[in-house]
Chain A
Amino acid sequence: MAKKRHQNAALLTLVTSAFSLPGISAKAEGVPDSTSVKYRYTSYVEDNAPERFTVEGDLGRYKIQANQIQLVQPVGERASITFDYLSETMSGASPWGVKQGADNQPELIMSGASIKEERQDVAVRLKVYDKESSVSFMGGHSTENDYKAVYGGLENELHFNQKNTTVKSGLKVSIDRINPTQEEGQSRVSEEEKNSTSYSIGLAQVLNPSAIVQVGLEYAQLSGYLTDPYKLQDSRPDIRKQTIASLGYRQFITSTDSAFHLDYRSYTDDWKVKSHTINVAWYQNFGSRHVIVPSIRLYSQKKAKFYGVYFEGGEATEYFSSDYRLSSYEAMSYKLKYIKYFDTWSFTVAGERYESEGSSGEIENPALVSFTRWTVGFDIKFD
C-alpha cells in the first residue's frame, strides 16, 4: 500500500467533523467541546423619585453598573466546570418609607444620596454528563459591606424518549448574614441571619419537530430575618413559603427563519403576594450572522397581606410594611436585543425599558420604580 505522512485540508475537515460525532469522540451529549468565555456589562438606571411626592431625601435613585464574566471549561470527556464572577457597583438613594400626607396623599421619604455599595459574587459549577443524564454541583459566595451569602445546589437532568423528553430537578440552599450599616437617627438591627431552601422540578417536551413545551414547579422556603432593615416601618414574618409554576412554549418557524417564545410564570406565597408574568419574545434570524430579538414582559402583582401604603407609628398589627415591592402593581417592560455572530465569537447588545404603576383601585406607592437597562457583551469560543 502506498503511504504518505502529510495530511491535506480535505482530510483535516472530515476528521474534525467526525470528532463531533458521539460514537467517535465518546463524549456524552451536551458536554462543551471547548473553552468558552462570556462577558457582559450592564448599566441599570432607575428613574428619579417623583418630586411632588418626595418630602425627604435625595431624588436620584439607584444606578447599578455590573460586570459579569463566565468561563466554561471542559474537564475530560464527561464533565465541565463553570466559573461565574459578578462585580456590581450601586449608588444612589433608596426609598426609606412612605408617610401619610395632606389629603391622605402618600409622601415618600428617600435616603440620602450617600449610599454607595459594591457586591461581588463568585460561583463555581461542576457538571458531570452521562449518555442520558447530567448532574451539576454548584456553590457560591456573595459579599456586600452589609450582606454576605453562601449558597450551594444540586441539579439533575434526565433525558428520555430519544431525548425528546427532559426532566430536570434541583435543590438550592442559601445562608445569608445581614449586617446593616448604622446611621444616625435610625435604630437598625446589628446582625441577623436568613436562610432559604428551594426545590424545583421541570419537564421539557419536544411536541413536534418545530415546537417545544416546558413546564416547571418550584417551592422555596425562606426563614430568619426577612424584614428590610433599611425601611422605616417594616416588620415581616420570619418565614415565607413561595410557590412558582411556569409554562414555556417555543415555536420554530421555518418560512421566516424565526422562533417565537412564550413564557408564563405564576407566583404565590404565604404572605398572600400573588403575581403573574407573561413574556413574549420573537427571535428573528437574518442569515446565520444576525439575530434580532424584540420582547415584551407584562407583570401583575397583588399586595402582601400586611402591606399598607403608609403606617403612622404605634401599629397594633404584628407585621407591616410599606415596601413598594409588596404592593399591588402592574409593570411592563420592552426589550430589544441584537446578536451578531462572527466565526468564533459573538457580540450582544440589548436595551430594556421597564415601567410600573399601582393597580387600579389602590393608592399607588410613590416608590414604584421604572428603569432603563443596557447590556453589551461578547461570547468567545476557543477551539
Chain B
Amino acid sequence: MGSPCKLHLYLTQKQANTVPQAALDCVFALEKKYSRYQSDSITSIINRSAGSGQCVRVDSETAALLDYANDAFEQSDGLFDITSGVLRKIWDFKSGILPSQETINQTLTLIGWQKIRWHNPYIELPEDMELDFGGYVKEYAADTLATFCMDNGVTHGLIDLGGDIRVIGPHLDGKPWKIGIRNPDNPEKALAHVESTGGGVATSGNYERCMVVDGHRYGHVFNPLTGWPVQGLASVTVQAEHCLIAGTLSTITMLKGRPGGGEWLQDMGLPNLIIEEP
C-alpha cells in the first residue's frame, strides 16, 4: 500500500490463529489487484489495452469501483477523476522546476473520465490514457478489511492503512480510539485528535510532497481540470461511516480548495476538520 499500515485488533485465541494472516492476505490481494506497478494487476491490464480498440471485461468488484469513480466524478463536477494520474509524470518535485504550460496542456488531453467508455462490465480507454485506483483503493481496502474482521467475529479494533482509518469497534473497555490528525507544518506532531468507536476517518493533505519555486509552494494534489496543484487547503479530515466515503469527501474538498471546498463539505453534515494554507 506504499505506506505504513497497522492493525490493532482484540482477538480471541482462536481468532488470533487465523484472522491476522487472512487479513493481511486480504490487503495484499487488493494491492496486487489494483497496483499500477504490478504488470498482471487489473489496472495494468486495462491501461495496457488503451488505444487498442479492445475493451476489457472486469470482475464485479472492479466494476463496482468504476461505478463508484463515475459517481464521484459526477458529484465533484469532474474533480475526482481516476484518469488524472498522468499529471504525476510532468510534475517532478525533486527537480524543483515547474512544467511548461504547453506540457500541462498536452497532458490535459489525456485526462477526463468522460472520455472513457465504461459500459459495465466492459471498459475501453483511448490511446495513452491511464486509470489509477490509488486515489481511493486504500480507503476501500480499510473498509474491506473491517468487513472481513467483523465477518470473523472481531468486534474491537482499528485498521490504519497509511492514515486511512477504519474503526471496527471501541477498545475492550468501551473507550473510543484516539486518532491523531497531523499538523501540516510539522507532520510528526498531532495537531488535534479525533475520537471514534466505529467508522472511517480519512485525511487528504497537500503537505506530504511539495516543492517551492520562487517562494511559491506547490503540493502534490492536482486539479485534473487545470493540471496545476490545488491551492488553499493544507489538510482535510472527514469522519464517515466508511473510510471510502471519508476519503472521497476529503479528496474532493481538497480539490475544490479555497474558497468553495469547506462550504461544500459542511453541506455533507459530517464531522470534519479543515486546515487552511497560511
Greatest chain B CB density within 10 A among A2, A24, A25 is at A24
Q: Flag B39-63 by CB within 8 Å of A: 1 or 0 each.
A: 0000001000100011111011100
Given contacts A11-B269, A254-B117, 5 further A-B contacts (CB under 8 A): A3-B271, A14-B71, A14-B249, A20-B68, A24-B244
Residues of A contacting B: mostly:
loop
Q: Flag A1-39 by CB within 8 Å of B: 1 or 0 each.
A: 111111110110111011011111110011000000000
**Structural contact, A18 and B273, CB atoms closer than 8 A:** no
* B212 CB within 8 Å of chain A: no
**Structural contact, A21 and B54, CB atoms closer than 8 A:** no
Which residues does chain B contribute within 8 Å of A20, judged by CB atoms? 64, 67-68
**Structural contact, A1 and B269, CB atoms closer than 8 A:** no
Complex Cα gap A112–B140 (Å): 69
**Structural contact, B268 and A23, CB atoms closer than 8 A:** no
Q: Flag B255-278 by CB within 8 Å of A: 1 or 0 each.
A: 000000000001111111100000
* B124 CB within 8 Å of chain A: yes
**Structural contact, B119 and A257, CB atoms closer than 8 A:** yes
* A252 CB within 8 Å of chain B: yes
* A209 CB within 8 Å of chain B: yes
* A104 CB within 8 Å of chain B: no
A-B residue pairs, 10 tightest by C-beta: A23-B144, A4-B269, A209-B56, A10-B75, A1-B271, A17-B71, A209-B57, A20-B64, A254-B55, A21-B64
**Structural contact, B54 and A210, CB atoms closer than 8 A:** yes
Greatest chain A CB density within 10 A among B75, B124, B144, B150 is at B75
Query: A11-B245, A17-B67, A24-B244 are known contacts. Are A252 and B143 too (CB-CB below 8 A)?
Result: no
Which residues does chain B contribute within 8 Å of A163, judged by CB atoms? 59-60
**Structural contact, B122 and A21, CB atoms closer than 8 A:** no
Interface bracket on A: 35 or more
Count of inter-chain pairs, beta carbons less than 8 A: 118
Complex Cα gap A183–B203 (Å): 83
* A162 CB within 8 Å of chain B: yes
Select from chain B the residue with minimum beta-carbon distance to A254: B55
In the assembled complex, 24 residue pairs joining A and B whose CB atoms fall closer than 8 Å, in A order, are: A1-B271, A1-B273, A4-B269, A11-B245, A11-B249, A13-B71, A14-B72, A15-B241, A17-B64, A17-B67, A18-B68, A18-B143, A18-B244, A21-B61, A23-B143, A24-B140, A24-B143, A25-B147, A163-B59, A209-B45, A209-B49, A252-B122, A254-B122, A255-B53
Complex Cα gap A13–B69 (Å): 11
Complex Cα gap A310–B176 (Å): 87
Select from chain A the residue with minimum beta-carbon distance to B265: A2
Which residues does chain B contribute within 8 Å of A1, judged by CB atoms? 194, 239, 271-273
**Structural contact, A7 and B268, CB atoms closer than 8 A:** yes
Complex Cα gap A248–B264 (Å): 51
* A331 CB within 8 Å of chain B: no
Q: Which of B61, B194, B239 contacts A22 (CB 8 A)?
A: B61
Which residues does chain A contribute within 8 Å of B269, judged by CB atoms? 3-8, 11
Q: Which of A10, A24, A254, A257 contacts B54 (CB 8 A)?
A: A254
Chain A proximity of B223: nearest CB distance (Å): 18
Q: Which of B59, B65, B143, B239 contacts A162 (CB 8 A)?
A: B59
Select from chain B the residue with minimum beta-carbon distance to A288: B119
Complex Cα gap A10–B239 (Å): 16
Select from chain B the residue with minimum beta-carbon distance to A252: B122
